[in-house]
Amino acid sequence: MAVCYQVSGMDYWLVTDYHDRGSLYDYLKSDVLTADELVRVATSMCHGLAFLHTAVGNKPPVAHRDFKSRNVLIRQDMMACIADFGLALALHEYPGDVHGQVMQQVAFC
């Protein structure tokens, strides 16, 4: 669950659930994934990226632009949550090469 709150002017805060397993980067420094956990984490990351890159209703396709293990949080059930959207772009505002690059990444997942 996430709540977006406007503090002042154009500043927004996005408040999300706390995931005590931390980032994928931190988790892998101290733990080893089983084969089932690896599939669960990888599949949920791919589904998350596919959702971001796909226009749904009024939501435009979005390019994260900083996707890395430090920006993937691990939930208690080993599902991945994509985080840190500070560099994200709504692709309808930037047509052209950016969209083609994102579509190649979706096809890879």
Write the pLDDT tens digit of every residue in 81-91.
999 888 888 88
Structure tokens at 22: 């931390």
**20 vs 109, residue with greater confidence:** 20
Tokens of 94: 């930037």
Domain count, the chain: 1
Nearest to 67 by CA among 97, 108, 36, 29: 108
| Domain around 33 | 20-108
d(CA 17, CA 74): 11
Tell me whether residue 36 is in a domain. Answer: yes
In the set 36, 66, 77, 84, the catalytic residue is: 66
* Residue 77 belongs to domain with CATH number: 1.10.510.10
The sign of the CA dihedral 59, 62, 68, 70 is negative
Q: Is residue 59 part of a domain?
A: yes
Answer yes or no: is 15 within a domain.
no
What count of other Cβ atoms lies within 10 Å of the Cβ of residue 4?
9
5 vs 48: CA distance, rounded Å: 23
pLDDT for residue 8: 61
**Mean pLDDT of all residues in the chain?**
81
Q: Kindly report the length of the chain.
A: 109
Mean pLDDT calculated for residue range 2-23:
71
Q: Is residue 8 part of a domain?
A: no
**81 with 72: CB under 8 angstroms?**
yes
> Whole-angstrom Cα distance, residue 61 to residue 93?
10
Which residues face 6 on adjacent strands? 12
Active site (annotated) includes residue 66: yes
